[in-house]
Structure 1
């Protein structure tokens, strides 16, 4: 059964090319997709298929050659500051303490400085990082840095969150722990999320729906509704349906990756 509800992010016919020398190289070809209120949607595709480019277009950092970006029913193509964004590497200010990294985000979102400091400490305790509130980012582990980075994105109150392979640089055990942590925190907030990953298991573990992309110029090969109930069980990956869906996505990626031909 497909998720229902208000569409918060709608991409219509997005195409994008870049000039390499004098040659126009297409990256995205007529991409249309949507994310509903409280929905977790994942993009998965081969390396170089334009997933990060799509995030830059959604964030207004670049404009598409054609197509429209619509947020909450309003055309916002080329406009910045309308989404919260978490990049592949933790986006923290190295000269600020962990607590100040959080409070600065709250101040930017309109919270008074004193209240922002109080809220920052409460949130850090909530995600079990209260003990490092006064430390600087460089002393934290990769997983800790990503937790703080995600919290910054979460507290930048925007209707849509874009998460660009946030766990790609982590080891397997830390990554699994971060996936469980993200799901637990997301379940309490239910922000609309567009997530990019190269991991089929991660996509199936986290998502309500998955868009499978071809290699560049990227097109949508298939939209897959993930059938597993929420909250997700930690051992959902053992279910036969999970194994079958993983095989289906892998087959799609192999067929859609022209670099393998």
Structure 2
């Protein structure tokens, strides 16, 4: 379980202090899929840097499985917005290195890497280097690396943003299938309300910076989630609710 308690963060810009996060409290229960939605610049990526221990909050603390991990690194699997791949390794070796880090033997990791790449339809580029792949392909390989790093908490920062609509929908279904088979705690950042509703158990809606939690929404759709869930009247209602929250937050800050 991941828990953020009363997290605040500000940055210095010259002589000015700019607050980014203001008393944020968020939880992701064991095996739960939670999404963050907020306007650009609302501190979503900053939250991930804090969770990953890259930065420390000015106030509050971060717990994983009941332990205070504030400022500690290496305890989550993380995928940033831009592909995070080793440029000197082939695509297959990028995947096998993640498996080795997770405890798989080198021989078995090489075999599994090929199988995993075939599952996401990238077996044909297994021997290529990342710079030869399209942006969408790089993101898929990076996403697969994050999935294979065996951590109890996964933080995914808009992992599908670089993909075309068809591939994005395919990867959403693929992620759900994998997650259903081996549920881990996931904190997912997206700008797409539809994506959050498709994937999540709960959604936190954030205000513009300095970000606060405007509302925590339960997503009522049963699992395994149906591909046509977007036609459910409750889906349309929840989407409208989130849009209204975001619109009201912009108006109040204007």
> Structure 1 258/62 Cα, relative in aligned 2: closer, same or farther at 3 Å?
farther
SS in 2 for 1:257: helix
Matches within 5 A, 1:173-192: 173-192=166-185
Matches within 5 A, 1:74-223: 74-223=67-216
Alignment partners' CA distance in 2, 1:124 and 1:173? 18
For residue 239 of structure 1, the aligned residue among 232, 244, 252 is: 232
Q: Output one character per residue of 1:184-233: Cα deviation in whole Å (capped at 9) or x when no partner.
A: 22222212100001111111111000000000010001100001111111
SS in 1 for 2:8: strand
- Tell me the CA shift for residue 114 of structure 1: 1.7
Alignment partners' CA distance in 2, 1:36 and 1:244? 25
Uncovered stretches (5+) of structure 2, i.e. residues with no partner: none
Aligned length: 254
Normalising by the residue count of structure 2, what TM-score does the alignment of the two structures yield? Answer: 0.95
- Tell me the CA shift for residue 260 of structure 1: 6.3
Alignment partners' CA distance in 2, 1:111 and 1:211? 35
Match status 1:70 vs 2:63? yes
Alignment partners' CA distance in 1, 2:101 and 2:140? 19
Alignment partners' CA distance in 2, 1:238 and 1:39? 23
Partner of 1:51: 44
Contact 2:136–2:162, Cα closer than 8 Å, also in 1: no
Partner of 1:30: 23
Q: Output one character per residue of 1:161-196: Cα deviation in whole Å (capped at 9) or x when no partner.
A: 000011122232322222222222222221210000
Alignment partners' CA distance in 1, 2:172 and 2:48? 21
SS in 1 for 2:81: coil
Alignment partners' CA distance in 2, 1:188 and 1:142? 28
Q: Output one character per residue of 1:55-95: Cα deviation in whole Å (capped at 9) or x when no partner.
A: 00000000000000000110000000100001112211222
Tell me whether 214-223 or 118-127 shows the greater mean CA deviation: 118-127
For residue 32 of structure 2, the aligned residue among 39, 44, 52 is: 39
Alignment partners' CA distance in 2, 1:179 and 1:126? 14
- Tell me the CA shift for residue 109 of structure 1: 2.7
Contact 1:160–1:193, Cα closer than 8 Å, also in 2: yes
Contact 1:215–1:258, Cα closer than 8 Å, also in 2: no
Alignment partners' CA distance in 2, 1:118 and 1:234? 32
- What is the RMSD computed on CA atoms of the aligned residues? 1.6
Alignment partners' CA distance in 1, 2:166 and 2:111? 32
Alignment partners' CA distance in 1, 2:186 and 2:215? 19
Normalising by the residue count of structure 1, what TM-score does the alignment of the two structures yield? Answer: 0.92
SS in 1 for 2:116: helix
Tell me whether 249-258 or 37-46 shows the greater mean CA deviation: 249-258
